[in-house]
């Protein structure tokens, strides 16, 4: 049975401190990873094409893989785009509508360094270079704790804002903090999105819910051999120094809406 792994990145830069270290990938390591995708015969595609396949539409190429970025840090334009261009790799970026041209204040509150987010012009340049742009909500709100009206504004409002910038339909959404509830999922469908990405690891298959697409997070410490396993098997390994049981428990708390991380 065909399947597809979606890779999830955040900051493509050197870590500014230990708090954000997990969520960074150095430009050198990112280039090594993108080169591997090409040399190993993978077929990078935007998530919208995967969603069409899951919905019973367009065919999926052999060895398909998706590259995604959350939050919209400026490092995507500064450090990732040149590498994506070099290896001719399409990607998908989920940006926060009301923070375009701003800063990662919600992450600073968690102890992360302050980082600039993509400007309107940078987002348009990404769009012109095979990077499809989706929504990561209006303000990076934790949807499981939001009211129905707030969920609607975060989901539908952000779609309208980004469409106004791009001049085209925005078809993808990524749940902030990985927080998915039935109400949030229903709001995404009602707003007219074609797909949504979660933070649950695993491969995407024809039976996968297109509003709960799985993604595999790329960590700062992943060696190339680990990265190869992630792309091939759709697994997310335990973090150094943390037993697997602890990581699994942490993931369960996040799924229940009882825990959040700054960079998801």
pLDDT tens digits, one per residue of 174-231: 999 999 999 999 999 999 999 999 999 999 999 999 999 999 999 999 999 999 999 9
Mean of pLDDT values over 150-165: 98
pLDDT of residue 168: 97
Burial class (CB in 10 A: 0-12, 13-18, 19+), 92: buried
d(C-alpha 222, C-alpha 15), whole Å: 14
Indicate the pLDDT class of residue 242, thresholds 50, 70 and 90. very low
pLDDT tens per residue, range 244-257: 333 434 444 444 44
Q: Is the pLDDT of residue 16 over 60?
A: yes
Buried b (16+ CB within 10 A) or exposed e, 37-56: beeeebebbbbbbbbbbbee
pLDDT of residue 58: 82
CA gyration radius for the chain? 17
pLDDT of residue 1: 82
Computed over every residue of the chain, the mean pLDDT equals 91
d(C-alpha 263, C-alpha 246), whole Å: 19
CB 90 within 8 A of CB 23: no
pLDDT tens per residue, range 54-107: 998 889 999 999 999 999 999 999 999 999 999 999 999 999 999 999 999 999
d(C-alpha 65, C-alpha 53), whole Å: 13
Indicate the pLDDT class of residue 260, thresholds 50, 70 and 90. low
156: tokens are 């539908």
């Amino acid at each position: 049975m065909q399947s597809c792994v979606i890779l999830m990145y955040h900051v493509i830069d050197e870590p500014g401190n230990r708090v954000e270290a997990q969520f960074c990938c150095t430009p050198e390591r990112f280039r090594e990873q993108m080169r591997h995708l090409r040399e190993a015969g993978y077929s990078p595609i935007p998530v919208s094409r995967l969603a069409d396949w899951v919905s019973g539409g367009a065919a999926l190429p052999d060895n398909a893989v998706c590259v995604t970025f959350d939050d919209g840090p400026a490092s995507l334009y500064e450090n990732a785009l040149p590498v994506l261009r070099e290896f001719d790799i399409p990607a998908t970026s989920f940006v926060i509508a009301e923070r375009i041209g701003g800063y990662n204040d919600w992450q600073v509150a968690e102890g992360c360094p302050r980082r600039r987010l993509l400007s309107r012009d940078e987002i348009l340049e990404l769009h012109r270079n095979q990077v499809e742009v989706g929504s990561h909500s209006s303000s990076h709100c934790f949807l499981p704790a939001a009211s129905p009206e707030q969920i609607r504004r975060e989901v539908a409002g952000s779609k309208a804002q980004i469409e106004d910038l791009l001049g085209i339909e925005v078809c993808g959404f990524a749940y902030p903090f990985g927080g998915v509830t039935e109400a949030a999922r229903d709001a995404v469908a009602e707003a007219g999105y074609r797909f949504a990405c979660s933070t649950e690891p695993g491969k995407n298959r024809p039976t996968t819910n297109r509003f709960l697409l799985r993604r595999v997070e790329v960590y700062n410490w992943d060696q190339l051999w680990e990265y190869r396993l992630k792309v091939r098997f759709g697994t997310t390994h335990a973090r150094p120094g943390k037993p697997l049981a602890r990581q699994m428990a942490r993931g369960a708390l996040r799924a229940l809406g009882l825990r959040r991380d700054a960079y998801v």
